[in-house]
Amino acid sequence: MLIDTHCHINIMIKKDFDILLSEENFELAQIIIDQAYNNDVKILLNVGTSLIESINSVNLAKKFTSVYAAIGIHPNDLTQNFKQDLKEIEKLLKNKIDNKIVAIGECGLDFHYPDYDIKKQIEAFKMQIDFALENNLALVVHSRDAYQETLEILYQFKDSNLHGTIHCFSYDLNFAKESINLGFKIGIDAPITYPKNNVLREVVKSINLKDILLETDAPFLPPQALRGKQNHPLHIKTIAHFIAELINVDYDLVSTQTAINAKEVFKFT
């Protein structure tokens, strides 16, 4: 059994961002979910990136048995009205069980693109950390070019029950160890298959398999053999096989242990 702990089916099935899903979109989602299920991907965590996409994530989770929802606002999707957007997201948490919400995010810090607003990003990140703590939910952390700042914020909550995953891990072994000590798993995506990504491969070889979650981030970041094409949750199997070979263990151990890890973090029912 495999679990994709981070995908965006809502983005795969429509042409534009921030529009609500239609019945036609749901029909396309059914195809994607069935393809994944038939490739042993039995649970999918669909992750929101904005208010509308979080609503879409919830609607997918409510419609499909194997799909669960994470809701939150990506640092690059913060609007001028982000506080109001987060209030609306908080309303979804009032029915978190019926809405199949198992995590907050993705949220965090992204200093990669010019003109980022560090103050706004930090404020939104902390607000969403509070959501996770108040609801005893996992936190899905997005961190890009914000190594020290991300750790500093997470350390502010080290004595709480904050837990979750560092999505699409792209830092070094020290960051991984610090994150694990803070209660986080390490999300590994298909970039581990990219030839130049030696640092990530060394991280995976150096940490315990019990600290790893598998992700696709579909439709983004396809495996090396499919670069330039749309990624798909079924390609989680490629990542699992790659890791098994990398750390010299059986594929079944990787699939089984990472599924156990995912259930521990997200409490899938």
Residue 112 annotated as part of some ligand binding site? no
Question: 101 near 93, Cβ under 8 Å?
Answer: yes
Q: How far apart are CA 11 and CA 226, in angstroms?
A: 18
Q: How far apart are CA 27 and CA 9, in angstroms?
A: 12
pLDDT of 211 reads: 99
Instruction: Report how many domains make up the chain.
Output: 1
Express each pLDDT in 61-104 by its tens digit. Answer: 999 999 999 999 999 999 999 999 999 999 999 999 999 999 99
pLDDT of 99 reads: 98
- How large is the average pLDDT for residues 44-65? 98
In one-letter notation, the amino acid at residue 99 is N
Identify the domain containing residue 131 by its residue range: 2-266
Residue the block writes with tokens 């990219």: 194
Q: How far apart are CA 264 and CA 259, in angstroms?
A: 9
Q: How far apart are CA 137 and CA 101, in angstroms?
A: 8
Residue 74 annotated as part of some ligand binding site? no
Residue 217 annotated as part of some ligand binding site? yes
Q: How far apart are CA 154 and CA 164, in angstroms?
A: 11
- How large is the average pLDDT for residues 6-18? 95
Cis omega (within 30 of 0) on the bond before 53? no
Residue 6 annotated as part of some ligand binding site? yes
- Which residues sit opposite 109 in a β-bridge? 143
Tokens for 101, please give them: 């919400």
Express each pLDDT in 120-178 by its tens digit. Answer: 999 999 999 999 999 999 999 999 999 999 999 999 999 999 999 999 999 999 999 99
Could you tell me the CA-to-CA distances from 95 to 52, 89, 102 in Å, in that order? Answer: 17, 11, 11
Residue 236 has pLDDT above 90, yes or no: yes
Residue 269 has pLDDT above 90, yes or no: no
Say what the pTM is: 0.97
Residue 41 has pLDDT above 90, yes or no: yes
Q: What is the CATH number of the domain that holds 70?
A: 3.20.20.140
For residue 4, what is the enclosing H or E element? Answer: strand 2-7
- How large is the average pLDDT for residues 14-38? 96
pLDDT of 8 reads: 99
Express each pLDDT in 165-223 by its tens digit. Answer: 999 999 999 999 999 999 999 999 999 999 999 999 999 999 999 999 999 999 999 99
